[in-house]
Amino acid sequence: MKQETLLSISERAGVSITTVSRVLNGKAEKYRISRKTVELVRREAEKCNYKPNIAAQSLRTKRTQTIGLVVPSIENPFFANIASIIIQKAKQAGYTVVLTDAMENEANEQDGVNSLLARNVDGIIISPSGNDPSYLEQINDLKLPVVLIDRFFYNTTLPYVVTDNYRGAVDAVQCLIDNGHSKIACIQGVPHSTPAKERCRGYRDAMTRAGFTSEIDAVGNDFSIQNGYVETRLLLTRHSPPTAIFAMSNTILLGAIKAVSESGLKIPEDISIISFDDNTYLDFLSPPITRIVQPLDEIGTIAIKILLQSIGDGNRSDAKIVLPASLKVRNSIKPVNRSPMNGYGR
Amino acid sequence: MKQETLLSISERAGVSITTVSRVLNGKAEKYRISRKTVELVRREAEKCNYKPNIAAQSLRTKRTQTIGLVVPSIENPFFANIASIIIQKAKQAGYTVVLTDAMENEANEQDGVNSLLARNVDGIIISPSGNDPSYLEQINDLKLPVVLIDRFFYNTTLPYVVTDNYRGAVDAVQCLIDNGHSKIACIQGVPHSTPAKERCRGYRDAMTRAGFTSEIDAVGNDFSIQNGYVETRLLLTRHSPPTAIFAMSNTILLGAIKAVSESGLKIPEDISIISFDDNTYLDFLSPPITRIVQPLDEIGTIAIKILLQSIGDGNRSDAKIVLPASLKVRNSIKPVNRSPMNGYGR
DNA sequence: TGTTTTTGCGCAATCGTTTGTGCAAATATA
DNA sequence: TATATTTGCACAAACGATTGCGCAAAAACA
């Protein structure tokens, strides 16, 4: 099972290395290799199950048929799901994925990206952990195409594919409002991340538009269970606690649920909740959680498409793609009569 | 930001490529490069942030500082968690991970492995989707080290690091038995996989030892939510349904919970459940689920260690490592009095 | 000063591909 | 038959790194 090379094949076929290479790369026509030789070479190559040495190939061509994927944390099901989709799509296109986990840390991320560069990946799909796009922009400008997913930057030249977090948040909050809630708290994630910013903006705008300006109440500072828990406990001990919570992620949601239950309250009877991001288990919580669902599949598919396109034609894309989220209604929201204090009650 | 090479550095430093290479590889001593030259070269290399071209390196040395990781499904949190650990440990050792998702399909898996081979990875960590070890054994014998995790093979020469699924299952079932249950059903996963086999064996042995031989009742055939759901519905419609269920995985558990709840029953009041595999959200289900926890961290750490060792010394390991699982008690099991029919009642 | 030893470094081959160019042999044309 | 064209393929350089070997200059020794 020793390594087969162009040389070994060429010897057995009695032709030159060059010819073998050309045949196997589908350039037989271009270089006018005869039908007979083509078949001879093909047969030999198949017989020994020849696989080109990618290192040698890439040394010559500067192509590796590899793309780098950088996520903040592969343990996060959101990113695990997206990774799964990207790995699959990449494979269909003949690419392999090198996965790097930044562990929500910008230094790690840069390490990882450097390692990808050293490996001559053909392009990078990244959901950045930090908030400085410049080093990525440099790479995109000077070296190889970069596409952002999920977390993007304002005013960046980098192409991105993200969910319409703003509208998703508006929809979430509007759903609570439609159910009669006005004291709606929002527990947010890492404040500098664009998804958090956008969702927060959506929350504020929806509240404002409904005339609940004075009720605006965004707390919290990261995407952890802990954060969801702590903030919820604090919210619940106020003299006038919210009647509904908009949790910005699954993790925050889990913390919130724990806090609610420890406080002896029930969802949705005592407090309503809506969350962001889908996950099967949310249907198995008690009650099942109403949530905003991101179009993961589309994000992955489009990101790959943009990247491969750029790799193919050498141009940089400036696509800024924002995809709609959708509402999945379950049982975590209780309709209430609006308090007369807001002037809406009957 | 164009690619720096040994050549460009050597020119600026006024020495040969050879010397630069030797300095940067720490072979200055061996080749008696003077202190002064070493420092000169080092400075130049750092100044331009030189990163060796891995393709060129690997073409020469046959080493890529890359390991391949193959999992049945990265969407499965169990594997996402393990991947996270392995990526991290590999990085600490200076290795990068290429991740391949077999999507629970043996053909995909072989494709993936082939692609890893073409990339000259230095070793492979794999949780196999199929049940034929021979092609992996061949690779391990003739090409590069392979280490199995989670799913292993009986009678294989391949080294593996797995959880003691047998004992874990025994503990799970014993826990139910200790709580007075005897009509205990087991819903299993992919029957040919070793974890499923071992857990099933544990179930049977525990039941037998307790004298409940006639109650042995293992159903189901894959690790899907669907399977958990269907089998549970069937179980619940029997004239004498089980009082407890041993679910072999989180996914099966979720299906089971759904079926129970749709049947108008409550956990644990009407039926007790214990599951396999840990996950934060299990504490947020209602009730929180008692489960058997696998030592993911240890599995990842040990697997990497074995692999790197093999890569380092060129020998194949024959380590067969079986790590203990642990019980995490929550609220999904109700203690009952044993039915007199079993001769244990009071 | 002449010889031996040590020090310090470079030459050139090599890994497995790709590709521009060139050159016979075969075929077509005159 | 002589020339022009086409066909079919090979030569050799290049990608960027590693490494066995060799050789000149400096140092040590006589």
The string of DSSP codes covering A48-114 is TT----HHHHHHHHS--SEEEEEES-TTSHHHHHHHHHHHHHHHHTT-EEEEEE-TT-HHHHHHHHH
Report the pLDDT value the prediction gives residue A118, as an integer from 0 to 100: 84
- The 8-class DSSP code of residue A344 comes to -
Report the pLDDT value the prediction gives residue B344, as an integer from 0 to 100: 41
Which structure tokens are listed for A65?
């048929």
Does position A239 have pLDDT exceeding 90, yes or no? Answer: yes
Report the pLDDT value the prediction gives residue A342, as an integer from 0 to 100: 45
Does position B345 have pLDDT exceeding 50, yes or no? Answer: no
User: What digits encode the pLDDT tens for the residues A268-289?
Assistant: 999 999 999 998 889 888 899 9
Among A49, A115, A117, most B C-beta atoms within 10 A, so best to mutate, is A115
- Portion of chain B with pLDDT greater than 90, in percent: 80
Report the pLDDT value the prediction gives residue B284, as an integer from 0 to 100: 83
Nucleic acid strand C within 7 Å of A54 CB: no
Within chain B, what is the greatest distance between any pair of CA atoms?
93
Does position A94 have pLDDT exceeding 80, yes or no? Answer: yes
Which structure tokens are listed for B167?
């004992």
Confidence of residue B314 (pLDDT cuts 50, 70, 90): confident
User: What digits encode the pLDDT tens for the residues B15-37?
Assistant: 999 999 999 999 998 998 999 99
Q: How far apart (Å, rounded) are the C-alpha atoms in residues B343 and B214?
A: 13
C1' (D7) to CA (A33) span, angstroms = 9
B105 touches chain A (CB under 8 A): no
C1' (C22) to CA (A22) span, angstroms = 17
**Which residue of A51, A88, A114 is in closest CB contact with B51?**
A114
Which structure tokens are listed for A42?
């093909």
Contact call for A87 and B66, based on CB within 8 A: no
Does position B343 have pLDDT exceeding 50, yes or no? Answer: no
Confidence of residue B337 (pLDDT cuts 50, 70, 90): confident
Contact B24, B38 (CB under 8 A): no
Amino acid A10 reads S
Mean local confidence (pLDDT), A25-47: 92
C1' (C6) to CA (B32) span, angstroms = 11
10 Å Cβ neighbour count for A275?
30
**Nucleotide at minimal C1' distance from the B5 CA:** D16
Report the pLDDT value the prediction gives residue A77, as an integer from 0 to 100: 86
Contact A133, A156 (CB under 8 A): yes
Output the CA angle B138-A86-B281, nearest 5 degrees.
95
Contact A184, A156 (CB under 8 A): no
Mean local confidence (pLDDT), B155-178: 97
Contact call for A56 and B52, based on CB within 8 A: no
- Portion of chain A with pLDDT greater than 90, in percent: 79
- Which residue(s) pair with B160 in the sheet? B148, B320
Nucleotides of C under 7 A from a protein CB: 7-12, 14-21
Does position B342 have pLDDT exceeding 50, yes or no? Answer: no
For residues A208 and B78, the model is more confident at: A208
Does position A346 have pLDDT exceeding 90, yes or no? Answer: no
For residues B315 and B345, the model is more confident at: B315
User: What digits encode the pLDDT tens for the residues A116-127?
Assistant: 988 889 999 999
C1' (C25) to CA (A32) span, angstroms = 15
Contact A113, B124 (CB under 8 A): no
- Portion of chain B with pLDDT greater than 70, in percent: 97
Look at the alpha carbons of A223, A226, A232, A238 in this order and tell me if their dihedral is positive or negative. negative
Report the pLDDT value the prediction gives residue A338, as an integer from 0 to 100: 61
Q: Is the pTM of this model over 0.85?
A: yes
Report the pLDDT value the prediction gives residue B286, as an integer from 0 to 100: 82
* Set of chain A residues whose Cβ sits within 8 Å of the Cβ of B112: 91
- The 8-class DSSP code of residue A120 comes to T
Nucleic acid strand C within 7 Å of B57 CB: no
Q: How far apart (Å, rounded) are the C-alpha atoms in residues A289 and A278?
A: 10
**Which residue of A119, A225, A281 is in closest CB contact with B254?**
A281
Output the CA angle A65-A71-A75, nearest 5 degrees.
120
A288 touches chain B (CB under 8 A): no
User: What digits encode the pLDDT tens for the residues A156-185?
Assistant: 999 999 999 999 999 999 999 999 999 999
Report the pLDDT value the prediction gives residue B2, as an integer from 0 to 100: 64
Write down the mean pLDDT value for chain A.
92
Residues 32-51 of chain A whose Cβ lies under 8 A from any Cβ of chain B:
51
**Nucleotide at minimal C1' distance from the A2 CA:** C16
Least Cα distance to A246 among A195, A171, A326 occurs for A171
Mean local confidence (pLDDT), A56-81: 92
Contact call for B285 and A286, based on CB within 8 A: yes
Among B51, B96, B223, most A C-beta atoms within 10 A, so best to mutate, is B96
Amino acid B235 reads L
Does position A229 have pLDDT exceeding 70, yes or no? Answer: yes
- The 8-class DSSP code of residue B3 comes to P
Q: How far apart (Å, rounded) are the C-alpha atoms in residues B128 and B305?
A: 19
Report the pLDDT value the prediction gives residue A339, as an integer from 0 to 100: 52
Confidence of residue B346 (pLDDT cuts 50, 70, 90): very low
In Å, how far are B184, B235, B236, B268, B336 from B240, measured between CA atoms? 11, 9, 8, 17, 16
- Which residue(s) pair with B163 in the sheet? B323
User: What digits encode the pLDDT tens for the residues A292-345?
Assistant: 999 999 999 999 999 999 998 888 999 999 999 999 999 999 999 865 444 343
* Set of chain B residues whose Cβ sits within 8 Å of the Cβ of A55: 54-56, 58-59, 64, 119-120
The residue in chain B having the minimum alpha-carbon distance to the alpha carbon of residue A58 is B55
Residues whose CB falls within 8 Å of the CB of residue A92, separated by 6 or more in sequence, listed in order = none
With residues binned 3-state (H G I as helix, E B as strand, rest as coil), the percentages for chain A, rounded to 5, are 45, 15, 40
- Three-state secondary structure call for residue B290: strand
Residues 208-227 of chain B whose Cβ lies under 8 A from any Cβ of chain A:
225
| Phi, psi for B301 (deg, rounded to 5) | -60, -45
Does position A215 have pLDDT exceeding 80, yes or no? Answer: yes
Write down the mean pLDDT value for chain B.
92
